[in-house]
Structure 1
Amino acid sequence: MKPVTTVKCPTCEAPVEWGPQSPNRPFCSERCKLIDLGAWAAEEHSIPGAPLEDELFSGDLPPRHH
């Protein structure tokens, strides 16, 4: 028998078994999944990287200094 892999829910850190018995994985529940989705929609989460500008309008924008 294979050992069960357990991960922490990214929202509440509850243990979640990684398998078909946990359809919302890596989240423990639909509620935690929706909380995380709301955080992305509110731009509370982001993926680091270089900022992108739309090439069509980039000439119209003032230069950005970081």
Structure 2
Amino acid sequence: MKIATDIKTEDWEKIIRTLVKEGWKVRSKYRGIDEGVDYDHLVLQKKPTALLLAGPVILKAK
């Protein structure tokens, strides 16, 4: 298993958009009050493979 950490919010969103454009389907998504603020969790699937993307959201002040 490979794990990526400290992904900036802009990069996270770009990764998700790219995967969806490439045919990955969102099978589950965290919908808590802190979604995309403190925590995010997605399961994407492109049969037969599932991909879990989860973790704290890293926001960097500009």
Provide the TM-score with structure 2 as the length reference.
Answer: 0.28
Pick 1 or 2: higher relative contact order, CA cutoff 8 A, min separation 6.
Answer: 2
Q: Which has the higher strand share?
A: 2
